[in-house]
Amino acid sequence: MAITEKNTWNTSLYDKKHDFVFKYGEYLVQQLLTPQEGERILDIGCGTGYLTSLIAASGAMVTGMDSSIDMIAKARNEYPHLPFRLASVTDFDFNETFDALFSNAVLHWVTEKEQAIQCMYKNLRPGGRLVLEMGGKGNVQLIMRALNNALKAFGYPQNADREHEIWYYPSLSEYTGLLEKQGFRVTYAAHYNRETELKDAADGIRDWVQMFCGALLEGVDAEAKEKILENAQETLRLTQFRNQKWYADYKRLRVVAIKEN
Ligand code: BEZ
């Protein structure tokens, strides 16, 4: 059976316990995007709007875009002075093109990657830049191995090994190749390890799984779910719990690309 929805976002929990997602994006904004006053910038997958507001602080004219109605509602509520648009990266169109497109920790949710790249290209002005960071090849593979093994061990093999249905973690050459095929010139690309500290010292892995891949637990009864989450977390304790903190085995892909004139 197909997964019905990749994720449903709990926006308060996202802001409270998973704010590392956008906190890590600050570097990306300040060091790689370097927004300039008056530039038209689109923040693709803006979530609750934190990085959109950071971009706006530079004097750029930024719009936040997200395909989650809950995220957009929260962003509008938090930053009522900024424009936010409900739209998908695979199908969006603005009247004017942008000087820059920015995306942090979003594009790995987009399995229709060619469509997304085509749409981004169309909405960028010639000479404009695309600055992105997403999960890259091997992202969260230790967490997934532990979860998949637990699903199989506790009677849900049909739920296991399905992460490719919700996420796309390309290698550097694959993603930059797709960008080049579309007409982008890639000026910077890196694929790096970023062990990511999780907020909850007691249940970091359990929280992470429930926040980001609840879809993989669809149809699992409550009692089995408890056992699966506990088993997956305990399997990971040896490698992912250090100095009283949980770490997720993130591998990031960071890219800057220009739309050729
Ligand atoms: C990531 O940023 O790599 C990520 C976030 C949530 C789920 C999966 C991956």
With a 6 Å cutoff on the Cβ, whether 168 touches ligand 1 is no
Per-residue pLDDT reduced to its tens digit, 206-255: 999 999 999 999 999 999 999 999 999 999 999 999 999 999 999 999 99
What residues form DSSP beta bridges with 253?
134, 191
Quick check: 54 and 29 in contact, CB under 8 A? yes
Per-residue pLDDT reduced to its tens digit, 180-204: 999 999 999 999 999 999 988 899 9
Write the CA distances from 73 to 46, 47, 68, 80, 107, integer angstroms. Answer: 11, 10, 9, 10, 21
Residue 15 has pLDDT above 90, yes or no: no
* 111 alpha-carbon distance from chain centroid: 12
At 200 the pLDDT is: 87
Q: Whose CA is nearest to atom 9 of ligand 1?
A: 135
Give the integer Cα–Cα distance in Å for 234 and 231. Answer: 5
Question: How many other CB atoms are there within 10 angstroms of residue 18's CB atom?
Answer: 22
The total number of structural domains that make up the chain: 1
6: in domain: no
Does 108 contact ligand 1 (Cβ within 6 A)?
A: yes
Q: What is the pLDDT of residue 4?
A: 67
Rounded to the nearest angstrom, the distance between the alpha carbon of 140 and the centre of ligand 1 is 8
Q: Is residue 4 part of a domain?
A: no
CB-based contact 43:64 (threshold 8 Å): yes
Higher-scoring residue by pLDDT: 47, 11: 47
Q: Is residue 237 part of a domain?
A: yes
Distance from Cα 85 to the centre of ligand 1, integer Å: 22
Please state, in angstroms and rounded to a whole number, the distance separating the CA atoms of residues 106 and 168.
10
| CATH at 93 | 3.40.50.150
Query: Is residue 127 in a domain?
Result: yes
Residues above pLDDT 70, as percent of the chain: 98
Q: Which of 23, 140, 168, 253 is the pocket-test mutation for ligand 1 (most atoms within 8 Å of CB)?
A: 140
Q: What is the dihedral of CA 77, 112, 170, 101, to 10 degrees?
A: -50
Using one digit for the tens of pLDDT, what is the confidence trace for 140-186? 999 999 999 999 999 999 999 999 999 999 999 999 999 999 999 99
- Distance from residue 96's CA to the centre of ligand 1 (Å): 31
Asked if residue 180 belongs to a domain, the reply is yes
CA distance 100 to 38: 11
Q: Which domain holds residue 168?
A: 11-259
DSSP, collapsed to helix, strand or coil, labels residue 192 as strand
pLDDT digits (tens, 9 = 90+) for 56-82: 999 999 999 999 999 999 999 999 999
- Quote the CA–CA distance of 194 and 140 in Å, as a whole number: 10
Determine, yes or no, domain membership for 201. Answer: yes
DSSP 171: -
Q: How far, in Å, are 77, 134, 138, 190 from residue 193 at the CA level?
A: 34, 12, 9, 10
User: Would 222 be classed as within a structural domain?
Assistant: yes
Give 168 Cα–ligand 1 centroid separation in angstroms.
Answer: 10
